[in-house]
Structure 1
Amino acid sequence: MQITTYQEALDYIYSFIDPTRQGSPDPAIAARSLARLRALLDIAGNPHQQLAAVVVAGTKGKGSTCALIEAMARAAGLRVGLWTSPHLSSYRERIQIDREPISQATLIQLVRDVQPIVDAFDTATYGRPSTFDIGFVMAMRHFVAAHVDLAVVEVGLGGRFDAAATITPLIAVISSISYDHMAILGPTLHDIAYNKAGIMRPGRPAITVPQHPEAAAVFAAEAQTVGAPLWLAAEHTVEPWLASGQPLTYPAPPQPGRLRGGFQRENARLAMGTALLLRDQGVPIDDQAIRRGLAEAWWPGRFELIAGPPRILIDGAHNGDSAQKLWQAISDELPHRQFILVLGTSRDKDIAAIAAALAPQAAHVIITRSNHPKAMDLDRIAAEVAPFTNAPMQIVPVVAEALATAQALAEQDDLICVTGSLFVVGAAREALGLAVAD
């Protein structure tokens, strides 16, 4: 079939979704998935090997860290590709150059180009490619064709067996680690950190932030095993952890200009540390570019405040640790009369941990869900939330209607918070006219 429209291109990409294919904690199964992608990349010309790239893994903050690194590199005059997931409203968000989402016409052409590659693929040996596989191949080919100077690549899940593990990065970046995706990555911080640490490569610097001791020990062991110089984006300097050299000084206080929330300071330190290490490798990012990128970087749906009254805060916190940090940032930065919580999440999330951090603070709780197939059932969310609140609770299945219900309940000094899932966040942004789904 000849792809001629954007919708046909999307239909082709999504036709490779297999609802029976689930992520597995079995390393052998995960390794086979990675082998499948390597084989697909090989017949596509191995575009990932033609890129200078930074790979960013982590449980939380990795998207914001990607946005900050991208902004700093772009402020230095570099042409920068950005691959992230999931998207909020448009698939085109996943593949960007200089923060411009790929055009519909270019995506159509990429799909046309990848069709014969997929048709020639040895499915008998490797199995059918996934939607994520195809998107990753298209992104890498797009970046090569556009002659980007640097690709900033966000890990989709884990790291060791993710698509990004096919890349040998200039810098391996690991943001904060906490509990998430335990059914796939394992039940302990050691297991989760082991998966994230898999992006480290021999002789290539790696950088992380202060971590729980269980995760920190894993990163130190992995760095020693593979021979990766390991750096720590600490409070005041970037410190050599298992690397030679002197501490590096941040060229500005780690306070992003447009990315609100105290938790973003840690991401800012990590991004600035990455930029400094890139500079050491000859990538021309000067102090002025770092400062400008820090001031201008933007990542929607993360502590995104919409002016009121009443004010509406949209944040993609989707695990207990993120929810705790969200509430701390609200307490520190957003004084309010009543807190109205609009909450929806995905089936694989620890809703009890999210509820424990946020529900006790709420004067009203409105339970909702996105249209995503992985959205958690409304009754289950309500049952998980109930032990943590005495506030009135309503179930409103459609995000736009849930938001309207919250607005009807709120007075001008109240704060509405929509959280629990990036898919819910995307629907809320569309309801508020901040984005258009395609």
Structure 2
Amino acid sequence: MTDPHAPPHAAPDDAPRLAQTFDEVEDALLSRWPETRLEPSLDRIQAFTELLGEPQRSFRAVHLTGTNGKTSTSRMIETLLRALDLRTGRFTSPHLERMSERISIDGEPLDDEAFVRAFNEVAPYTHLVDADQDHPLSFFETIVAMAFAAFADAPVDVAVVEVGMGGSWDATNVVDADVAVVLPVAVDHAKYLGDEPVAIAREKAGIIKPGSVAVLAEQTPEVAAVLLERAAEVGATVAREGVEFGVLSRTPAVGGQMVSLQGLRGAYDDVFLPLYGAHQAQNAAVALAAVEAFAGTGELDEDLVRAAFAEVTSPGRLEIIRRSPTVVLDAAHNPHGAEALAAALEDSFAFSPLVGVMGVMEDKDHEGLLNVLEPHLAYLVCTQNSTPRSMSAAALGRAAVEVFGEDRVSVVPDLSDAIERGATLAEAGEAIDVSIGSGAVLVTGSVVTVGEARSLLKGRR
């Protein structure tokens, strides 16, 4: 095996200047092709990892794809693996607040010093790839290589790797994972992946590798057929939610829910999961099956499983960030995610009124989001986040009026002001014909919007 610590040749003399600070790394990465600009090929990332000594071959991996739920499930898988005394790396995207959240070792994001070190390890080789390929390395390809190099250096026993988009040609797919997890497939990133779930499923199925175990969340029959065909083609073992594993029961509880899970090796009862919604219970079942498949031995210790799930967190996923009034953050950014959010609101909360604060990306199905959430919101404040990709608050407001009516919508472009407006409305329930005292604010519509809101609100708690 190639030694990941020994690139095949020394860094060239004219290599890019190494970074000194986190901000310099961020600037260098953001100067590359953004995550939204794609050229579907693994050529660049393969050339890059070859120059780095194939760091992704120095650890085992669990690889996740799917439309929603990847980050929450990744965090659950990692927590369970750590409970088994394995050293873990975790790569997720996008980040909520800081870019370094994308790369975690031992359950913690890289600190600024480690993030700079990870960048400097790969930076000397970036322009060699740029010069040799038709297109330069993208932001995402570069940070994937940083993660793999950091995991090899640690060294980790196992990496939990979330795809950025799709599967087959996602930069993370240079990893050959022991376990491939496919969460529910729906339509998102239609511009890049198409607007037909079957076409999307074909792309996502590319992470299922020969000899691996494919852990499949519940899918539509058409999507399931595509995934099973791929598994058969490459000789992968299949574990399906609702057949080999699943949620046996769940009951909403204070701070989350109590669940009983059927795993691949046994049943696990009375598991407290400190996350809300049926979708998180299903994510927990998938995570459990993935770890059982990875461990490959008998039933996991029940107490270990309970202790691990009790520790799980998933920032920005139905996260209560503030009280008085309650402010809930949820990163739902497509109709499928909004349906899970709406079901969880009905299931676990009794907010009245619930005031929405929404900022969405220009390329997302904002009309689908608005239609799903309208029955659950008394009022909607339309806003925007700070990125160029954000839909303007005014444009979102016009679309929202069509769904909610003029008297239930206002437009407040500044996110901080929008949250304040939402909080005022939630506290003054009688202004919208609801009793005072049980109102709440839901900030949603985009991971970026939720991340920016989280940064604002953490400072006020």
Please report the TM-score for the alignment, with normalisation by the length of structure 1: 0.91
Code of the aligned partner of 2:19 = I
- Cα pair distance change 1:311/1:154, threshold 3 Å: same
- Are 2:339 and 1:355 equivalent residues in the alignment? no
2-side partners of 1:123 and 1:343: how far apart?
Answer: 42
Question: Alpha-carbon deviation of 1:53?
Answer: 0.6
Identical pairs, percent:
32
- Are 2:222 and 1:206 equivalent residues in the alignment? no
Question: Alpha-carbon deviation of 1:112?
Answer: 2.1
- Cα pair distance change 1:283/1:202, threshold 3 Å: farther
SS at 2:454 equivalent: helix
User: Is the 2:211–2:237 Cα contact (8 Å) retained in structure 1?
Assistant: yes
- Are 2:366 and 1:331 equivalent residues in the alignment? no
SS at 2:449 equivalent: helix
Higher relative contact order (CA 8 A, sep 6+): 1
Aligned pairs for 1:52-71 within 5 A: 52-71=60-79
Aligned pairs for 1:196-275 within 5 A: 196-234=204-242, 237=245, 248-253=264-269, 257-275=273-291
Among candidates 87, 93, 100, match of residue 85 of structure 1: 93
SS at 2:268 equivalent: coil
Code of the aligned partner of 1:156 = G
Aligned to 2:142: 134
Question: Alpha-carbon deviation of 1:40?
Answer: 0.9
Question: Alpha-carbon deviation of 1:247?
Answer: 7.8
Among candidates 401, 405, 410, match of residue 394 of structure 1: 410
Among candidates 2, 9, 24, match of residue 25 of structure 2: 9
Cα offsets for 1:205-246 (capped at 9, x unmatched) = 10111111121111111111122111112278369xxxxxx9
Aligned to 2:250: none
User: Is the 1:69–1:293 Cα contact (8 Å) retained in structure 2?
Assistant: no
Aligned to 1:380: 395
Code of the aligned partner of 2:125 = I
User: Is the 2:239–2:245 Cα contact (8 Å) retained in structure 1?
Assistant: no
1-side partners of 2:50 and 2:113: how far apart?
Answer: 25
Among candidates 124, 131, 136, match of residue 123 of structure 1: 131
1-side partners of 2:321 and 2:113: how far apart?
Answer: 32
- Cα pair distance change 1:300/1:268, threshold 3 Å: same
Answer with 40-49 or 248-257: which moved more.
248-257
SS at 2:207 equivalent: coil
Among candidates 389, 414, 422, match of residue 447 of structure 2: 422
2-side partners of 1:209 and 1:110: how far apart?
Answer: 33
SS at 2:356 equivalent: strand
- Cα pair distance change 1:283/1:349, threshold 3 Å: farther
SS at 1:4 equivalent: coil
Aligned to 2:456: 431
2-side partners of 1:137 and 1:120: how far apart?
Answer: 14
- Cα pair distance change 1:417/1:18, threshold 3 Å: closer
Cα offsets for 1:158-212 (capped at 9, x unmatched) = 1111012111101000111111111111110101111111100111110111111
SS at 1:290 equivalent: helix
SS at 1:269 equivalent: helix
Code of the aligned partner of 1:419 = T
Among candidates 146, 155, 160, match of residue 154 of structure 2: 146
- Are 2:350 and 1:342 equivalent residues in the alignment? no
Code of the aligned partner of 1:347 = E
SS at 1:317 equivalent: coil
Code of the aligned partner of 1:30 = P
1-side partners of 2:299 and 2:56: how far apart?
Answer: 22
- Are 2:46 and 1:30 equivalent residues in the alignment? no
- Cα pair distance change 1:97/1:220, threshold 3 Å: same
Code of the aligned partner of 2:377 = A
Aligned to 2:83: 75
Answer with 6-15 or 335-344: which moved more.
6-15
- Are 2:425 and 1:409 equivalent residues in the alignment? yes
Cα offsets for 1:10-46 (capped at 9, x unmatched) = 2112221359x733xxxxx512xx1111111111111
1-side partners of 2:132 and 2:340: how far apart?
Answer: 46
Which runs of no fewer than 5 residues in structure 2 stay unpaired? 1-16, 248-261, 428-436
User: Is the 1:343–1:368 Cα contact (8 Å) retained in structure 2?
Assistant: yes
1-side partners of 2:299 and 2:87: how far apart?
Answer: 12
Question: Alpha-carbon deviation of 1:64?
Answer: 0.6
Among candidates 260, 264, 277, match of residue 293 of structure 2: 277
User: Is the 2:271–2:306 Cα contact (8 Å) retained in structure 1?
Assistant: no
- Cα pair distance change 1:348/1:285, threshold 3 Å: farther
Question: Alpha-carbon deviation of 1:393?
Answer: 1.3
Code of the aligned partner of 2:368 = A
SS at 1:81 equivalent: strand
- Are 2:347 and 1:322 equivalent residues in the alignment? no
2-side partners of 1:110 and 1:35: how far apart?
Answer: 22
Question: Alpha-carbon deviation of 1:307?
Answer: 4.7
Which runs of no fewer than 5 residues in structure 1 stay unpaired? 24-28, 240-245
Question: Alpha-carbon deviation of 1:277?
Answer: 0.7
Among candidates 90, 95, 103, match of residue 95 of structure 1: 103
Please report the TM-score for the alignment, with normalisation by the length of structure 2: 0.86
1-side partners of 2:164 and 2:151: how far apart?
Answer: 18
Answer with 122-131 or 398-407: which moved more.
122-131
Code of the aligned partner of 2:33 = I
User: Is the 1:338–1:414 Cα contact (8 Å) retained in structure 2?
Assistant: yes
Answer with 171-180 or 226-235: which moved more.
226-235
- Runs (4+) of structure 1 exceeding 6 A deviation are none
